[in-house]
Amino acid sequence: MLDSNGSEIIENAVRKGGVSIVTGSSVQRIMGKVENDQSVGSVFLTNGQQVSCDVVIVAIGVIPRTELVEGTEVKLNRGILVNNCMQTSVPDVYASGDVAEAWDFTLSQNRLLPLWPLAVAQGKVAGYNMAGNKTEYAGGTNMSSLKYFGVPVVSIGIANPKDQNAFEVLVKHDPEKNLYKKIVLKDNVIAGITLVNEIERAGTLFYLMKNHVNVKRFKQELVSEDFGLAMLPANLRRIMCSGCA
């Protein structure tokens, strides 16, 4: 979700809030309390450390529950395979939400994207199509918007492009102000947005990303402090303000 610059700002904020962070290690064993082994008392980490605790929260990802269609004609990968109408490989069977591998417009491929607004959008598309109104899902992408100990963060799409040659990366980093902005471009179209501590223009940036707007003429402005609607070409502003892409 974040690269090392973004993570460092968050890590500092979380540590300042009194939280200990252990990286590069995972939980090996959960132990009961000495006086009552029905209650959690500590965890052993793979680095040999033992940490006392009263609660263990496991947050290691999402596995879709596909058992309903296992062994049927409905094709599966990690999730249920669907087309852009959310139709499965069986014509009258539709799938949407966490269980479906739907279109990611950033990666240009279908994949699992377990997010609530995407599940809602996909569910609507499935419903329309089941009712005979042919509708296509426009796609979604990874989106997170959180506040860590007072530090707001928005991360959308590709945060850390693996193939550096295929992407252009624009960065504004001010460690003193805990400010970090990173825009990842592919062929002058936004493929990734990371905003730490200055998230006000996330909506405008996401509009440009979702509508595959070519930002070549104004790309240097995307990470500037003053970036906003006023910096966009007039014709684009008109379209954005009238609400039609």
Chain residues binding ligand FAD by CB under 6 A are 65, 67-68, 97-99, 114-117, 119
| C-beta closer to ligand FAD: residue 143 or 189 | 143
69, 103 in Cβ contact below 8 A?
no
According to DSSP, the residues that pair with 146 across neighbouring strands are 153
Task: Return the closest-CA partner of residue 79 out of 113, 40, 44.
Answer: 113
Output the six-digit token pair for 9.
């700002």
Q: Whole-number minimum distance, CB 216 to ligand FAD, in Å?
A: 32
Q: Whole-number minimum distance, CB 82 to ligand FAD, in Å?
A: 12
The C-alpha angle with vertex 180 and arms to 175 and 185, in degrees rounded to 5, equals 145
According to DSSP, the residues that pair with 180 across neighbouring strands are 173, 196
Q: Whole-number minimum distance, CB 69 to ligand FAD, in Å?
A: 9
| C-beta closer to ligand FAD: residue 67 or 92 | 67
Q: Whole-number minimum distance, CB 142 to ligand FAD, in Å?
A: 10
Q: Whole-number minimum distance, CB 7 to ligand FAD, in Å?
A: 19
| C-beta closer to ligand FAD: residue 112 or 185 | 112
Q: Who's near 169: CB < 8 A, 6+ residues apart?
A: 161, 182, 183, 184, 185
| C-beta closer to ligand FAD: residue 53 or 63 | 63
| C-beta closer to ligand FAD: residue 65 or 216 | 65
| C-beta closer to ligand FAD: residue 117 or 243 | 117
Q: Whole-number minimum distance, CB 80 to ligand FAD, in Å?
A: 11
One-letter amino acid at 118 equals L
Residue nearest to ligand FAD (CB): 97
Give dist(CA 93, CA 113) in Å, integer.
Answer: 20
- Supply the DSSP string of 66-105, one letter for each residue: -TTTTTSSS-BSSSEE--TT-B-SSTT-B--GGGEEEEET
| C-beta closer to ligand FAD: residue 146 or 166 | 146
Give dist(CA 129, CA 132) in Å, integer.
Answer: 5
Give dist(CA 129, CA 135) in Å, integer.
Answer: 6
Q: Whole-number minimum distance, CB 62 to ligand FAD, in Å?
A: 7
Give the 3-state secondary structure of residue 39. coil
